[in-house]
């Protein structure tokens, strides 16, 4: 079975949870080629197995090369391994056992969600959504057992109350939409950087300027305005990265976008420890 048909078959099992981003109507899979709503808005399955549910193209700075570097870094550096384990522990602690719909809102190329699904156990369905087509294309190529959608966080193509878990990992958010699509018993897990996150890279890029520091107080306050906070888990450690991982880190990081080639040669000249410093916020709909 081709990837397109395999994806369409998978989506047909969960299509009751998906809604048209144009009109909000329910959808069905037609001839294993398209998602079609009752008002005939049609979204075709790409040959790689994803569905583009945007009404018009959106330009982003996140290209496919960046996502390939990011996938390699996530899978091979071990940098985020403890974060993945912590998220799985939260899911098991906060929710009853059983099949879950896990939406990764801002999934990029999908490796964070896939590592979490792998550790969470069988029976769950992952739905990854990102506005960057290059990330979703790569996700669909590599992770055919999940559903991949190009879409807008401000207009999620998901029915109200359709998701048990929303992941939002180092990504922008739209909390009104998150509140709409999460089940009353479900949880939103947002991962935000703390002041020490990638501090070695920040220092190499910005040295003594104020850009070398990061403050997440505003991000946390906004989350607290929209959800009842069930847990706040902090994760801080230094991870030794080899030259290949350091090169991937630079290529995937927006921090380095506006710097010339060669500026960070010294940073990647030898293996070095790099700090992961994250806060994991766990929220539920307020009553």
For the chain, domain boundaries: 3-285
Biggest CA-to-CA distance, the chain: 59
**Rounded to whole angstroms, what are the CA distances from 132 to 58, 72, 106, 128?**
8, 18, 9, 11
**150-178 per-position pLDDT tens digit:** 999 999 999 999 999 999 999 999 999 99
Q: Under a CB-based contact definition with an 8 Å cutoff, are residues 171 and 192 in contact?
A: no
Instruction: Produce one character per residue of 112-123: b if its CB has 16 or more CB atoms within 10 Å, e if not.
Output: bbbbbbeebeee
**187-204 per-position pLDDT tens digit:** 999 999 999 999 999 888
Mean pLDDT of the chain: 94
pLDDT category at 205 given cuts 50, 70, 90 is confident
pLDDT for residue 225: 96
**With pLDDT > 90 as the criterion, what percentage of the chain qualifies?**
83
Query: What mean pLDDT comes out for the span 96-115?
Result: 97
> Which residues sit opposite 57 in a β-bridge?
none
pLDDT for residue 62: 83
Note the CATH number of domain 3-285: 3.40.50.150
């Amino acid at each position: 079975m081709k990837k397109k048909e395999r994806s369409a078959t998978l989506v047909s099992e969960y299509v009751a949870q998906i809604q048209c981003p144009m009109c909000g109507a329910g959808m069905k899979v037609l001839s294993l080629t398209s998602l079609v709503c009752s008002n005939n808005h049609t979204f075709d399955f790409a040959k790689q197995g994803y569905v583009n549910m945007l009404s018009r193209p959106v330009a982003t700075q996140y290209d496919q090369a960046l996502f390939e570097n990011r996938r390699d870094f996530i899978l091979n550096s071990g940098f985020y391994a403890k974060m993945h384990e912590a998220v799985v522990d939260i899911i098991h602690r906060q929710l009853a056992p059983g099949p879950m719909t896990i939406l990764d809102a801002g999934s990029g190329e999908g490796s964070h969600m896939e590592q979490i699904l792998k550790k969470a156990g069988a029976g769950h369905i992952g739905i990854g959504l990102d506005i960057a087509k290059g990330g979703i294309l790569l996700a669909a190529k590599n992770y055919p057992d999940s559903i991949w959608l190009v879409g807008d966080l401000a207009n999620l193509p998901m029915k109200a109350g359709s998701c048990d878990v929303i992941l939002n990992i180092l990504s922008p958010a739209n909390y009104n939409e998150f509140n709409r699509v999460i089940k009353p018993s479900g949880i939103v897990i947002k991962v935000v950087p703390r002041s020490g996150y990638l501090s070695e890279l920040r220092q190499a890029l910005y040295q003594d300027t104020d850009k070398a520091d990061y403050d997440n107080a505003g991000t946390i306050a906004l989350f607290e305005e929209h959800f009842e906070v069930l847990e706040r888990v902090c994760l801080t450690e230094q991870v030794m990265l080899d030259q290949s991982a350091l090169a991937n880190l630079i290529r995937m990081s927006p921090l380095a976008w506006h710097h010339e080639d060669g500026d960070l040669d010294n940073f990647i000249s030898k293996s070095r420890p790099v700090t992961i410093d994250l806060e994991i916020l766990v929220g539920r709909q307020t009553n």
